[in-house]
Amino acid sequence: MKPPSSTSLASPSKPAGGTKAKRRDISVRFCGIAGDGVVTCGRILAGACASLGLDLMVNDIFSAEIRGKGKSTTTVRFSSRIVHSMGDGVEVLVGLAGKESIEEIKDVRPGGCVIYGSSIPGDLPEDDSLAAHVPPNIHGFGVPLRKLANQATGSNQGKNIVAMGALCYLYSLPQEAFIEQLRKNFGRKSSRALEVNIKAFTLGFEYCKEHYPLSFELEVLDTLEPRPLYTGNDALAHGALDWGLKFFAGYPITPATKIMEICAKELPKNGGWTIQVEDEIAAISNVMGAFFAGKRAMTSTAGPGLSLMSEMIGLAVMAEIPAVIVDVQRGGPATGMPTKVEQGDLNIALYGGAGDCPRVVMAPSTVRECYTGIQLALDLAEKYQTPVIFLSDLFLGQRMVTTSIPKRVERDRCTRKKPFPGELGTYERFKITEDGVSPLLIPGEEGGFYTITGLEHTPSGNPNFESNVHSMMTEKRYRKMKAMCVDLPPADVLGDKDALIGIVTWGSTLGSVVEGMELAREQGVKSKVLKSIMINPQHEDSFREFFASSARIIVPEVNYEGQYAALLKSRYGIQPVEMHISAVDPVSPAKIANRIIEVQDELTH
């Protein structure tokens, strides 16, 4: 059986450029250097497509350097079908910076196109020319971006909007949807800003209409309704706020800062607080303090911040203080790759810190799950008096998607276990209970005095280092992990339930896996995937059932050593096919499909 390659997913390389068939699925990549307006392009295109009711996903990849240095790309994939991932390759490359865009050409699918600036002043050496690198199976469209931008704005600014006009014409997209986005983007700045940007857009549109009259066509169904757009970070922050978050403490770090910005803006409106502290140790300490005092609290960080928080996570476990720590993962270790994605923090989330240190680890797979999942995280922390580490990642946190967010919020589904008034006289903060959860008083309540400590302690909270006490208390802390299973969402099986190939993945990789499964299915190979937001603890029975029904298990994840696969192997005794995908770019669905097909071939031969 022939595995699909990334190119086989694209429109066939017809001499006519495939202009007759309407395209259902297009990916557009804008490439420029910082300051070229690449992100603005992505937002305008995404806004326009969302207003047309198309499903879409936007991924920004930018350098960690300051303006003027390094390359940025924004890729927008839009479709009249569901978009699960960024897919493989792009249909269109818009080269706002010609030289920097050259290496992006390899991602343009056959039959796709490159829009390049054709009014670059002076002699352009062949090696630096984007047009010179456009292969014959890709259409090149030269547009005098700089000249038209100058004509519209009187400066070199506005090339991106000219390119947007060109794109709008070349793909037969409704102009009005773009103009409306320009109004939203520039209208609030000044009427002059709006006017020159509309002019730049129109000049790009008209240029292509005159010089490249034969446009491609995109299938846009009239029945589609406008869609809202969210990033994972937006959804996560708003999920927490809607769930009654009252306190946020944090230290800015890419790619998590947006969560803090939203909380800083929104929390004061609801009587809450956001505090920017001196470092991540202070951030988690503040969160623990706030939660201890009865307020729902959260911090957000990235891998380096989670490292710093490890010791305080240990304290939260030992002292049984709730805390929610969001880790929007980026490439590591150390400072690593601040603007690139990696799922490399699973081990530190699961095991970071001293001693036997049980904690809840969750990983949302979709933007919608960022919203609902963080609410569950806050609930679990509150009810089970435990730190919850919520592992988002750069791709999930920063990508923008069309999605629906549930509006109904049940804030009281989870409450803190408190002692009855008659029990205050004999109140034990760490009372041994069947589910491991002890009643927890807000400090300062009359008659409810107690001590908490990072030292091992007796049920009353007094330090104690005897073996039997340590065993009893450790067991109690682990018992909570078992007990909370009743509150955990069941793991879902997606795909063909009767398939013999099972996939278990985590976090944002799920979208690419689902698309890879669809590609494999087109090749006649069925598969299924187990979707679980819970990494620790898990509904172990549903995992065991899934493994029992699968002849082979594939575990794809974006890290070098296969951290999730290692967990599954030790927890369930399975021997999966591991896919350790390198960091930086979103996961390729074609690679997932290839692996599924290879595993199928192994099973049948």
Partner 1 sequence: MRYVIVGTGAAGATAARTIKRMDRDGEVVIIGDERFFPYNRYLLTEFLSGAVSAAELFHTSEEFFEAMDIRLRKGQAVERVYPNDKTIRFAHNEVMSYDRLLIATGRSPSLGPVLRPYAKLIQRYYTFEDILLIQKRLPEVREVIVSGRGLSALDLIQGMYRVGKKITYITRGQAIDVSTVESHLMGDLDSALAEREINFVHDDRIVAIECVDNRYLVKTFQGKELWGDLVFAWDNYTPNVGCLRNTGIEVKTGILVDLRMRSSAPEVYAAGDCVEIYHPTLKNYWINFGWPNAVEQGRIAGKNMAGDNEEYQIHETTLFNILGKPLEARWWD
Q: Is 18 in the site for partner 1 (CB under 8 A)?
A: no
Distance CA 282, CA 308 (A): 10
Query: Nearest distance from residue 343's CB to partner 1, in Å?
Result: 38
Distance CA 182, CA 174 (A): 13
Residue 425 identity: G
**Are 324 and 390 in contact, with CB atoms under 8 Å apart?**
yes
Pick 14 or 192: Cβ nearer partner 1: 14
Q: Is 523 in the site for partner 1 (CB under 8 A)?
A: no
Phi, psi of 163 (to 5 degrees): -60, -35
| Region of 38-46, 81-89, 132-140, 218-226 interacting with partner 1 (CB under 8 A) | 132-140
Query: Nearest distance from residue 359's CB to partner 1, in Å?
Result: 55
Q: Is 137 in the site for partner 1 (CB under 8 A)?
A: yes
Query: Nearest distance from residue 208's CB to partner 1, in Å?
Result: 12
Q: Is 494 in the site for partner 1 (CB under 8 A)?
A: no
Query: Nearest distance from residue 2's CB to partner 1, in Å?
Result: 18
Q: Is 118 in the site for partner 1 (CB under 8 A)?
A: yes
Which of 15, 68, 271, 425 touches partner 1 by CB under 8 A?
15
Instruction: Give the Cβ contact number of residue 410 at 10 Å.
Output: 9
Q: Residues, the chain, total?
A: 605
Pick 220 or 367: Cβ nearer partner 1: 220
Q: Kindly state the tokens that stand for 285.
A: 């300490």
Q: Is 108 in the site for partner 1 (CB under 8 A)?
A: no
Q: Is 119 in the site for partner 1 (CB under 8 A)?
A: yes
| Region of 129-137, 173-181, 421-429, 515-523 interacting with partner 1 (CB under 8 A) | 129-137
Q: Is 112 in the site for partner 1 (CB under 8 A)?
A: no
Q: How far is CA 491 from CA 449, 495, 530, 545, 562, in A?
A: 41, 13, 6, 11, 21
Q: Is 126 in the site for partner 1 (CB under 8 A)?
A: yes
Q: Is 139 in the site for partner 1 (CB under 8 A)?
A: yes
Pick 210 or 225: Cβ nearer partner 1: 210
Which of 4, 42, 89, 117 touches partner 1 by CB under 8 A?
117
Per the listing, tokens 């990494």 go with 535
Q: Is 298 in the site for partner 1 (CB under 8 A)?
A: no
Q: How far is CA 92 from CA 58, 154, 221, 326, in A?
A: 14, 28, 21, 35
**Are 339 and 397 in contact, with CB atoms under 8 Å apart?**
no
| Region of 61-69, 135-143, 448-456, 571-579 interacting with partner 1 (CB under 8 A) | 135-143
The half-sphere exposure of 103 on its side-chain side, counting CA atoms within 13 A, is: 5
Instruction: Give the Cβ contact number of residue 481 at 10 Å.
Output: 17
Distance CA 510, CA 495 (A): 12
Pick 118 or 257: Cβ nearer partner 1: 118
Pick 206 or 545: Cβ nearer partner 1: 206
Pick 17 or 244: Cβ nearer partner 1: 17
| Region of 37-45, 137-145, 432-440, 484-492 interacting with partner 1 (CB under 8 A) | 137-145
- Sorted by sequence, the CB contacts under 8 Å of residue 582 that are 6+ apart come out as 558, 560
Which of 124, 308, 493, 494 touches partner 1 by CB under 8 A?
124
Query: Nearest distance from residue 414's CB to partner 1, in Å?
Result: 60
Residue 170 identity: L
Query: Nearest distance from residue 105's CB to partner 1, in Å?
Result: 13
The half-sphere exposure of 254 on its side-chain side, counting CA atoms within 13 A, is: 18
Q: Is 188 left (phi over 0), alpha (psi -120 to 50) or beta?
A: alpha
Q: Is 248 in the site for partner 1 (CB under 8 A)?
A: no
Pick 137 or 175: Cβ nearer partner 1: 137
Residue 395 identity: F
| Region of 52-60, 124-132, 283-291, 567-575 interacting with partner 1 (CB under 8 A) | 124-132
Per DSSP, what are the bridge partners of residue 328?
Answer: 392
Per the listing, tokens 């978009």 go with 83
Instruction: Give the Cβ contact number of residue 350 at 10 Å.
Output: 20
Closest by alpha carbon to 298, among 344, 260, 338, 255?
Answer: 260
The count of chain residues that interact with partner 1, using the rule CB under 8 A, is: 31
Q: Is 469 in the site for partner 1 (CB under 8 A)?
A: no
| Region of 54-62, 117-125, 485-493, 496-504 interacting with partner 1 (CB under 8 A) | 117-125
Instruction: Give the Cβ contact number of residue 521 at 10 Å.
Output: 16
Distance of CA 409 to the CA centre of its chain: 22
Q: Is 13 in the site for partner 1 (CB under 8 A)?
A: yes
Distance CA 534, CA 73 (A): 32
Pick 212 or 450: Cβ nearer partner 1: 212
Pick 113 or 378: Cβ nearer partner 1: 113
Pick 119 or 307: Cβ nearer partner 1: 119
Which of 3, 142, 204, 373 touches partner 1 by CB under 8 A?
142
Q: Kindly state the tokens that stand for 241.
A: 């706020």
SS3 382: helix
SS3 296: coil
**Are 312 and 288 in contact, with CB atoms under 8 Å apart?**
yes
- List the x/- string, 200-239, binding to partner 1 by CB under 8 A: ------------xxx-------------------------
Distance CA 368, CA 260 (A): 19
Per DSSP, what are the bridge partners of residue 536?
Answer: 361
| Region of 125-133, 333-341, 372-380, 501-509 interacting with partner 1 (CB under 8 A) | 125-133
Which of 6, 63, 129, 453 touches partner 1 by CB under 8 A?
129
Distance CA 514, CA 516 (A): 5
Q: Is 7 in the site for partner 1 (CB under 8 A)?
A: no
Per the listing, tokens 């490890």 go with 310
Query: Nearest distance from residue 20's CB to partner 1, in Å?
Result: 8
Per the listing, tokens 């103009």 go with 179
Catalog residues that contact partner 1 under the rule CB under 8 A.
Answer: 13-17, 19, 110, 116-126, 129, 131-132, 134, 136-137, 139-142, 212-214
